[in-house]
Amino acid sequence: MTPAGYRRLILSRHAKSSWDDPQMADFDRPLNARGRLAAHELGDFLASRGLEPEEVICSPARRTRETWEGVQSAVLESLPKVRFVDALYHGGPEVMLELLKTASQPTVMMVGHNPAIAEFAATLPARPIYTPDFRKYPTCATLIVDFQIDDWTQAKPGTGSVLDFFTPSVRGR
């Protein structure tokens, strides 16, 4: 639950995708076994901290949808409002901010792709985050950042307070 006067963003890069079929279109690539495990691990992490999203804005690509499904199956007691937004597939940080400003719930999860996720994440905190994983923003990495605002339309870069940064422990292929 997000305190009154705050908005919380859970910003996730999709989990590890499969490259088994080099002819497959990028949009259609599924998660590999490691990715499925990481998505569930992210869900467990969020649930253990009471960080369940009330609204989800997700790229429509298969790997982002499957990441969300893995998180959802691991954590949720109630189903949030979910929007699959085409602009999130190739949109940069400016597009992501504009999409965030359309959110209606206090706790929002956004699931997208690099390099946009890493670039957007770097703009949000009021103070820099000094960890090598944050700069790389590996697959399934997730930034949890709070904003002291009453409405998402007030969200601005450089005003967020970092609550946590998650990377899955699942390694290898």
Report yes or no on 86 lying in a domain: yes
Domain that holds residue 67: 8-118
Whether residue 84 is contained in a domain is answered as yes
- In tens, the pLDDT along 66-114 reads 999 999 987 766 789 999 999 999 999 999 999 999 999 999 999 999 9
- Domain CATH number, residue 63: 3.40.50.1240
Show the tokens assigned to 75: 């954590």
If one counts the domains in the chain, the total is 1
Residue showing tokens 């339309």: 153
CA separation for the pair 85, 138 (Å, rounded): 22
Nearest Cα to 139, choosing from 114, 110, 164? 114
Residue 36 lies in a domain: yes
pLDDT band for position 128 (cuts 50, 70, 90): confident
Sheet holding 7-13, edge to edge: 81-84, 55-58, 107-112, 7-13, 142-147, 161-166
Q: Look at residue 38 and tell me if it is in a domain.
A: yes
Assigned domain for 44 exists? yes
Q: Tell whether 100 is covered by a domain.
A: yes
pTM for the model stands at 0.94
Helices and strands per DSSP (H, E), number in the chain? 6, 6
Residue 132 inside a domain? The answer is no
Kindly indicate the confidence band of residue 173, based on its pLDDT and cuts at 50, 70 and 90. very low
